[in-house]
Amino acid sequence: MVCKRVRRGEITVREGDRVVALLGRVPVRRHRHGDVLVPAVAIAHNTRHALYDCLYLALAVILDAPLVTADARLFRALRITGARQHVVWVDDL
């Protein structure tokens, strides 16, 4: 996404490099796919959205954390679900 925003001229290369550097400092935790897959499939069926995207929402729900997205289609689709409190538009941060 950072590279795409640079190509579109939405951010400068320097800003993109800063984002990448900041992301490199984020601690990463791994989660077992079995814990996330079943709720993600249910969300995908209910929203008719791609399982890939619903995996992120399922994990956000499990962790009681926000899913921050810049994907407008995903944001609109998930805002109408019961998990809307977990979906945050990136510009609203």
Sole residue written with tokens 């929402």: 57
Cα 40 to its chain centre, rounded Å, is 13
Residue 88: strand, helix, or coil: strand
Please tell me which residue, 8 or 46, carries the higher pLDDT value. Answer: 8
User: Which of the residue ranges 16-20, 74-78, 81-85, 87-91 has the most confident prediction, judged by mean pLDDT?
Assistant: 16-20
Q: Which of 32, 54, 53 is nearest to 43 (CA)?
A: 54
pTM above 0.75, yes or no: no
Residue 21 has pLDDT above 90, yes or no: yes
Query: Which tens digits make up the pLDDT trace of 38-78?
Result: 999 998 898 888 899 889 999 998 999 999 998 888 888 87
Q: Which of 46, 92, 51, 35 is nearest to 69 (CA)?
A: 92
Q: Which helix (H) or strand (E) segment is 70 a member of?
A: none
Tell me the C-alpha to C-alpha distance, in Å, between residue 38 and each of 2, 29, 35, 71, 86. Answer: 30, 19, 7, 23, 18
**What are the domain boundaries of the chain?**
1-30, 31-93
